[in-house]
Structures are given as structure tokens and as C-alpha cells.
Structure 1
């Protein structure tokens, strides 16, 4: 794992959370109809073909090597439109999007929809759980997210079967929650959850005090999660430390797994 500073994007390129995805060694940034691609091998930007329809917030995810907002095939560099979902789906406020067993699931906190990529059909269902935070990931058919039981309390990690979303706390991470809070992390700070090499990563930013040089720290925790008898998941923090010190003008927006 390594960190690299990206060249700046054009000022008119939106970097809304779910408009950034990775395919292989490339990162795709979708802004309305425009698509920019960062090659992690050469550290260079290029333009990709634009989407057929511009979207203010192009929520997207990857399945079977293709990007779903419309459907983009990186091999042929072409976009295809999805079937018309109808008025109800077009008007919803999307909170999240994730691929589950070939279905592109998306929706709000309590009502979810899906596009079945195999059947080419749209579905909808009620979602009983609102636990899922803004940052989440899927690892081995299990969803992971982070959140707080109270505004002033320590951060916690949660897990759920991707089908049922019966969210439960990942046990054994109390010391990490205290570390996160003592370092300056709080519910007002951006904390990201991402899977990498079979492990769960927690990444957060902390402003430095005193701070005459206008810098902040990027913290990183690597967690091995294991299932135990009784339907519990336990986390073991393998290491946690500061990995970067950056200007306060930088923001922690996206964490992606990229193959290089």
C-alpha cells in the first residue's frame, strides 16, 4: 500500500462521494456527463467518453468490470443506457449504492431499489435498517460501516449480511474508538471505511493544534475481522498510526482499492 499525490482536477469537475470508482489500475471521476480517468501506473489524467445523459450526482458502482451509472465498458470505452426505471425511481434521493450478487442496489435510508443486471429488471423493497453510514464497503458478502452511538462518543464499526442489513457492532474495537477520539477524531470529522486485501481499513483526518503551518494529520487503522460462534464479528487492530501530514486545504474525500 502506498500514497500518491494526485494532480489537480479541472475546477469544473465535481468529486461528489459516489461519483468516484476504480476499475483495475484506473480511477474514474464522473461529473455530470463528463468522465475523467486517473491512471495509477503512469500517474496521469485522461478524458473518457461522456455519459449519454448528464447527472448532477452520478452515483455509481462497479460490477463485473463495468461501471453502473449508465453502463460503461472500459474495454470498449462505450456507454449504454439502462432501461427506463419509471418516475418513482427517477425522483428518489439516493443515499448509497452497492452491488450485491449481480444486483445494483441503491436508495435512501429506508427504501431501497435494485437493478438486476442479469434479468434487466428494476426492483424495490423496504429497508428496515438506517444504520449504514455515508462511508461503507463490502468484503466477502459482508457490509461494513462506521458510526456513533452519540455525538460525543467514540466511533464504532458495524457489520451486516449484505442481504438482510441487520446491523451489529464489530466487537473488540473499544481501544480503537478511544484512540480515534483522543487523536481528535469526532462525529464532525470525515472517517472512511474501505476493504483492502481481506482487511478492513479505517481512515480519518485530524486538525493539528497548535497549527501555525495550517496542517492536519491523516490517521490509518488496519483491522483483521473474524467471525466467531454466536454470530459475532470481532476485530483485531493490527496497526494504527499517522500516515500523512497534509495542508488543511486538502480534504479526505475518497478511499479506493486499486490494482497496480
Structure 2
């Protein structure tokens, strides 16, 4: 990497990996890795956005998604869109109310939980980039009615299907002591776009994937 950065995060667009991070003076910069040439680009991009403290920088850099080869990043009450071709940042008022920390994009449709706390989730919300309108994934009422008081953590693109990750606390006895642990579960949902633009979901899988005192920080879709 050309420069030393903290609070890094990355997104892929136009066959390049854009790595965002903070320098020692907490200024935000972007460096590019060219996946075609397999080299780092020498240019260091400096966005026209001032982030003055580490807490804001961390929140900003960890709320980002890529849609239509543009990066959308949220800082508290404002969302910015970055166009790599033009190297231009601008605010996007339509996405101001959307929490991007645990969102994912499938076929340029944004999927996300309705609030910050992710407890008692009753639906998954959507944002259609082309139509610039909000919606919900239909057909999942039965699923969420069985999942009350669970903590939903992340969404992910799983080969075109929507993956939801959630956890629940469990107590177990070891000798005379009662111990606490966490179960981490995954739900795979196939998606269907119907006439009128409605998105319908169907549960294809639901199962436990991890047990223990672990925290799922992020989810990545990889091909092996």
C-alpha cells in the first residue's frame, strides 16, 4: 500500500479496489489497486470531505456500499456518493435515512435492516437505485414472526440470494456454574422481482453456523 492508513475499508468498482482510510492527521484519502495490472496506482486521491476526529472517520468508513460502480458512504445524518471516474463527491439526500453499516447490494438493489439496533426485525427494506424509491421484501412475515428478540447483524450477497446473519444468547451449565455463549445463525433467501417492481423472498436455508463468544464484524462474498 502506498501510504500507512488506519480505519481502512475497501470497495471494488471499475476493476479497481478503492481503499479508504485515515492518515496520521485523520485526513481521509483513497488509494487504488489495479486488479488488471496487479499493482498499486501511484496517485493518492484526497476527497473533498473533512473528517476531523477518529470516531467520525470510523463511522464514515464502515458505512459504505457499491451500486452501479459508485460508492455510497454515510456519515451520521448525511450520505455521500463517490464517482470514481470523475473523482467527485456529492451528497445524496435520498439515502440520508438509510443505515449502510450492515447493508448489501444485489443487482443494484440495496437491502438493509430498518434501524440501528436490529432487534425484533419485522422486515427487510430495499432501495431501488434506478427508480430511486424505497420498499420492503415481501413474503417473509412468517420468518420474522419466529425470530423475535434476536439480534440481526449483517446482510450479504450470497450468489444472488440474500443472506441474513443473526445471533442469540444461550446459557449452559458447566459443573455448578452457568455459562453464557452466543449462537450465530444464517438465513438464505432467494429473491424474485415481480411485475410492478415488488421484491418477494423465499427462505431456502436456515441454520446455525457458529457457536461461541464471537462477533461478526463483516461479511464478504468470495468465489473459490
Q: What TM-score do the two structures reach when normalised by structure 2?
A: 0.75
Query: Structure 1 residue 252: deviation in Å?
Result: 1.4
In structure 1, what is the equivalent of residue 5 of structure 2?
54
- Return the alpha-carbon distance in structure 2 between the equivalents of residues 122 and 67 of structure 1: 17
1:196 equivalent to 2:170? Answer: no
- Which segment is superposed worse, 108-117 or 143-152? 143-152
Q: Deviations over 1:44-72 (max 9, x none)?
A: xxxxxx341423x2232112342212212
The runs of 5 or more residues in structure 1 that have no matched partner are: 1-49
Partner of 1:175: helix, strand, or coil? helix
1:73 matched to 2:34 = yes
Please state whether the residue corresponding to 2:8 is helix, strand or coil: coil
Higher strand share: 2
Tell me the residue number matched to 1:208. 170
2:104 corresponds in structure 1 to 137
Return 5+ residue gaps in structure 2 as ranges. Answer: 20-30
Matching residue of 1:258 = 222
1:255/1:174 Cα in 2 relative to 1: closer, same or farther (>3 Å)? same
Please report how far the alpha carbon of residue 125 of structure 1 lies from its aligned counterpart in structure 2 after TM superposition.
2.5
Normalising by structure 1, report the TM-score.
Answer: 0.66
SS at match of 1:180: coil
Number of aligned residue pairs: give it. 201
Name which structure has the greater RCO, CA cutoff 8 Å, separation 6+: 1
SS of 1:59's partner is strand
The SS at the match of 2:89 is strand
Q: Please give the root-mean-square deviation of Cα atoms over the aligned residues, in Å.
A: 2.8
1:1-260 to structure 2, matched below 5 A, reads 50-55=1-6, 57-69=7-19, 70-74=31-35, 75-86=37-48, 88-91=49-52, 93=57, 94=60, 96-108=63-75, 110-119=77-86, 121-129=87-95, 130-148=97-115, 153-162=120-129, 166-181=133-148, 184-185=149-150, 189-210=151-172, 212=174, 214-244=180-210, 246-248=211-213, 250-260=214-224
